[in-house]
Amino acid sequence: MNHSTRPTLHRLRSSRTALLAALGLLTATGATATVLSTSAGAAAAGCRVDYQVTNQWDTGFGTNVAVTNTGDPLSSWTLEWTFAGNQQVTQGWNATITQSGAAVTARNVSYNGNLATGGSTYFGFNGSYGGANPVPTAFRLNGVLCNGSPTSPTPTGTPTGTPTGTPTGTPTTPAGSRVDNPYVGAKVYVNPEWSAHAAAEPGGAKVANQPTGVWLDRIAAIAGTNGRMGLRAHLDEALRQKGSGELVVQLVVYDLPGRDCAALSSNGELGPTEIDRYRTEFIDPIAAVLADPKYAGLRIVTTVELDSLPNLVTNTTPRATATAACDVMKANGNYIKGIGYALKKLGAVPNVYNYADAGHHGWLGWDDNLGPSAELFKQAATSEGSTLANVHGFIVNTANYSALKESNFTIDDSVNGTSVRQSKWVDWNRYVDELSYAQALRTKLVSLGFDSKLGMLIDTSRNGWGGAARPAGPGPRTSVDAYVDGGRYDRRLNTGNWCNQAGAGLGERPQAAPTPGIDAYVWMKPPGESDGASKPLPNNDGKGVDGMCDPAYTGNPRNNNHMSGALPDAPLSGDWFSAQFQELLKNAHPAL
């Protein structure tokens, strides 16, 4: 599959931490508790707690907890339970979790303390254990007991097969209706083809049960080709994994005419003028499959046409980074038309959630890129009869390497009176990492008329930058460049480098609602699949060689003429690249 999506970059001077996420894996066990109680002299209280172990390995586990208030409204909440074994909470998100012996207390954080009657909130944690890992049987919300009993016994070992379902009483979404955040309260589809590749690698079993995107990157991929699963095969397998609970399937829709106009390794099969084929042979068949009532109970996330719109902003005339191919696509309007058509057709399916691509901070973060990009996103979302309502959110950093959060410096820092923005690395960008960029872009998009509940996805599949070279603190304050370069996690030679980067590592494991405005951290790019070949290789898919995939390449204006930083001996884009996968395992952060 063709997964290279970083062919273009920035302008020229004018481009919950979780050791294992508690979502989207192949097994689940849980407990559900419901009670209505009234304390004398106090407001009526009641609660339901859905406790779901979503992943478990030899010495650890991940858990999602949903808290529903069935009593009077609350302005703050505290949930308490006691472990029956020797479990220890090691890390949590969306709640402040403390433990004393076997007793655990989870308190709301600043943004999720208010719980209306019937309202729910969610938090998660990772834990360690030895021996058994029994599910807690009793929970108290603000001192009120929520009684219930656990469901099936917790599984042991690395999950490899059919899901066990969801806890009794877990709310499910009626078929054909959308929720605010499709990832909350849901497992996420594990692609068995990618999982098998990962599991066959030394150490790969540690991540082989993580959910990744399914790439529909050519017409033949819809039916399946060369022995690979087609769209229906994936959706049928998703139904098997779903059981009785909720499950998200992540699809990448990626076959625009004249695709990736500033790259060679990820060129598509359709010529610049073949918009009618795109509509009738690619989008229409996908929409028809997704609309099959058989799949109405799945939550289907589509990430729509990577890189195309950012290319029109940064790589067309009069920019110095312009290419003739991008000028053609801007002139004929087929990127705009194709995306509008895709959003309209896919958005008409009630259980589909469209997330449009929005590049990454090292491409669109500059002042003169972010605003025009947001305007162009709106133009595309309202073309071909589509409306803004067809966009559930946006995705950033897909198949890229930009660090999620740079903790050792901020954009507001200065060294000896020189702003961090003036460093060679930041280069006057407004944003230094993906989280700040995603949140700022979301604010801009909402100001242009997109839904106030717009959600963002961040691809964290390859942006961990861990390992021995990860800085432990800020760089020296001898100069602004030394300060930034000594402290930055992202160790690329330039934010414009996008192909098979040496030193990269797996990032945050997929998780739902990790921070306000972010619907999920996802692994949309399957780790271990090449961005592009480092030298010419024969193929029938029209995949060329991009210099950015050659370790000896000395760069171009789009990466300020830096070396490419690519790994050697890479296969064609989308093919399995064992050396890259091993690099990602070794440099994972959080570490495996």
Give the residue from 96, 127, 150 where a domain finishes.
150
Judge if 540 and 392 occupy the same domain: yes
Is residue 564 included in any domain, yes or no? Answer: yes
Is the same domain home to 508 and 359? yes
Q: Is residue 78 part of a domain?
A: yes
Q: With respect to residue 219, please indicate whether it lies within any of the assigned structural domains.
A: yes
The DSSP bridge pattern shows strands 187-188 and 247-253 to be parallel
Q: DSSP letter string over 300-343?
A: EEEEE-SSHHHHHHHSSTTSTT--HHHHHHHHH-HHHHHHHHHH
Domain assignment present for residue 221? The answer is yes
Q: Indicate whether 112 and 236 sit together in one domain.
A: no
Quick one: 21 exposed, middle or buried, by C-beta within 10 A (0-12, 13-18, 19+)?
buried
Mapped to the 3 state alphabet, what secondary structure does 431-486 carry?
A: CCCHHHHHHHHHHHHHHCCCCCCCEEEEECCCCCCCCCCCCCCCCCCCCHHHHHHH
Cis peptide before 536, with omega less than 30 degrees from 0? no
Range of the domain at 101: 29-150
Give CA–CA dist 135/118, Å, rounded.
Answer: 24
| Assigned domain for 524 exists | yes
Residues 56, 199: one domain? no
Question: Are both 113 and 222 inside the same structural domain?
Answer: no
Rounded to whole angstroms, the maximal C-alpha distance in the chain is: 78
269 and 400 part of one domain: yes
The contacts found for 282-287 with CB under 8 angstroms, 24 or more apart, are 282/216, 282/219, 282/222, 282/255, 283/253, 283/338, 283/341, 283/342, 283/345, 283/346, 284/345, 285/219, 285/222, 286/216, 286/222, 286/231, 286/251, 286/253, 286/346, 287/345, 287/346, 287/348, 287/349
Decide which of 102, 133, 150 is a domain's last residue: 150
Q: How many CB atoms lie within 10 A of CB 268?
A: 23
Among 150, 179, 195, the domain boundary falls at 150
Classify residue 580: in a domain, yes or no. yes
Distance, in Å, from the CA atom of 521 to the CA atom of 456, rounded to the nearest integer, reads 9
Query: Splitting the chain (592 residues) into consecutive groups of 10 residues, what average pLDDT does each group show?
Result: 36 30 37 34 67 78 84 91 93 87 91 79 85 91 70 33 32 67 96 95 95 96 91 96 94 96 79 97 97 96 95 94 95 98 97 97 95 97 98 98 97 96 96 97 97 97 97 97 98 95 97 95 98 87 82 88 95 94 98 94
Distance of CA 82 to CAs 29, 62, 105, 106, 126, Å?
17, 17, 9, 11, 16
- Please give the backbone phi and psi of residue 116, each rounded to the nearest 5 degrees, phi first: -70, 165
Q: Are 268 and 576 in contact (CB under 8 A)?
A: no
Whether 343 is covered by a domain: the verdict is: yes
Half-sphere exposure of 396 (CA within 13 A, CB side): 28
- Write the CA distances from 445 to 330, 344, 368, 377, 450, integer angstroms: 22, 19, 15, 9, 6
- Check which CATH number belongs to the domain holding 110 and give it: 2.60.40.290
Q: Are residues 140 and 222 in the same domain?
A: no
The pTM of the full predicted model, rounded to 2 decimals, is 0.73
Contact at 8 Å (CB) between 589 and 462? no
Length of the chain: 592
- Do 138 and 249 reside in the same domain of the chain? no
Amino acid in the structure at residue 399? A
Residue 5, classified by CB atoms within 10 Å of its CB into exposed (0-12), middle (13-18) or buried (19+), is buried
Give the residue among 37, 23, 183, 49 at the shortest CA–CA distance from 120.
49
- What's the per-residue H, E or C state across 135-194? CCCEEEECCEEEEEEECCCCCCCCCCCCCCCCCCCCCCCCCCCCCCCCCCCCEECCCHHH
| β-bridge mates for residue 250, sequence order | 301
DSSP 557: G
The one-character DSSP state at 421 is G
Query: Catalytic amino acids?
Result: 307, 531
Amino acid at 290: L
- 66 in a structural domain: yes
- The Cα-based distances of 271 to 277, 311, 542, 556 in angstroms read 10, 16, 11, 25
| Domain tally, the chain | 2
Same domain, 65 and 146: yes
DSSP state of 499: S
Residue partners of 356: CB distance under 8 A and separation at least 6: 303, 304, 305, 309, 339, 343, 377, 380, 381, 391, 393, 394, 395
- Does one domain contain both 397 and 546? yes
CATH no. for residue 459?
Answer: 3.20.20.40
Same domain, 135 and 198: no
Do 89 and 222 fall into the same domain?
no
